Structure 1
Amino acid sequence: MFIKDAFLKKETTLSFEIFPPKNLDNIFNTIQELKKFNPDFISITYGAGGSSKDRTVEIASTIKNNYGIEALAHLTCAASTKEEIEEIINKLKQSKIENILALRGDIPEGFIQGKEYPYRYAKDLIWKLKEDANLCIAAAAYPEGHNECKNLDNGVRYLKEKVDEGADLLITQLFFDNNNFFEFKEKLYQYNIKVPVVTGIMPAVNKALIEKIQKLSGFVLPDKVKSFMSKYEYNEDDLKKAGIEYASYQMEELLKNKVEGIHLYTMNKHDIVKNILDNVSFK
Structure 2
Amino acid sequence: MNLELSIEFFPPQTAEGIEKLRATREQLAILQPAFFSVTYGAGGSTQERTLATVSEIAAADHVAAPHLSCIGATRASIRELLATFRVRGIRRIVALRGDLPSGMADPGEFRYANELVAFIREETGDAFHIDVAAYPEWHPQAKSPRDDLRHFKQKIDAGANAAITQYFYNPDAYTRFVADARALGVTVPITPGIMPIASFSKLARFSDACGAEIPRWMRKQFESFGDDTASVQAFGLEVVTDLCQQLIARGVPGLHFYSMNQSWLTLEICRRLGIG
**Cα offsets for 1:76-112 (capped at 9, x unmatched):** 1111122322222222111110000001111223433
Partner of 1:45: 39
Are residues 1:125 and 2:116 paired?
yes
CA contact (8 A) 2:4 2:253 kept: yes
Distance in 1, Cα, partners of 2:143 & 2:44:
32
Distance change (3 Å), C-alpha of 1:195 and 1:127 = same
Counterpart CA distance in 2 for 1:204 and 1:25 is 23
Alignment coverage as a number of residue pairs? 271
Alignment of 1:246-261 (within 5 A): 246-261=239-254
Deviations 1:95-152 (CA, angstroms, capped at 9, x unpaired): 11000000111122343346xx211111111011111121111000000112101522
Which residue number corresponds to residue 28 of structure 2? 34
Q: Which amino acid aligns with 1:130?
A: R
TM-score normalised by L of structure 2: 0.93
How do 1:86-125 residues align onto structure 2 when only pairs under 5 Å count?
86-113=79-106, 117-125=108-116
Q: Deviations over 1:215-245 (max 9, x none)?
A: 2221221112202221223011111111111
When structure 1 is superposed on structure 2, of 174-183 and 218-227 the one drifting more is 218-227
Q: Is 1:61 matched with 2:55?
A: yes
**Bigger shift: residues 133-142 or 207-216:** 207-216
Q: Which runs of 4+ in 1 moved over 3 A?
A: 48-51, 110-114
Whether the 8 Å CA contact 1:204–1:229 is kept in 2: the answer is no
Q: How far has the Cα of 1:273 moved from its partner?
A: 1.1
Aligned to 1:5: none
- 1:51 offset after TM fit, Å? 7.2
- Structure 1 residue aligned with 2:208: 215
- 1:167-178 equivalence runs, <5 A: 167-178=160-171
Amino acid in the other structure paired with 1:242 = F
Instruction: Give the secondary-structure state (helix, strand or coil) at the position aligned to 2:57.
Output: helix
User: TM-score with structure 1 length normalisation?
Assistant: 0.91
Distance in 2 of aligned mates of 1:267 and 1:246: 18
Structure 2, unmatched stretches of 5+, are: none
Identical columns (%): 30
Contact 2:167–2:192, Cα closer than 8 Å, also in 1: yes
CA distance in 1: counterparts of 2:183 and 2:44, whole angstroms:
41
Structure 2 residue 139 is matched with structure 1 residue 146: yes
Distance 2:106 2:151 in 1: 20
Does the 8 Å CA contact 1:113/1:120 hold for their aligned counterparts? no
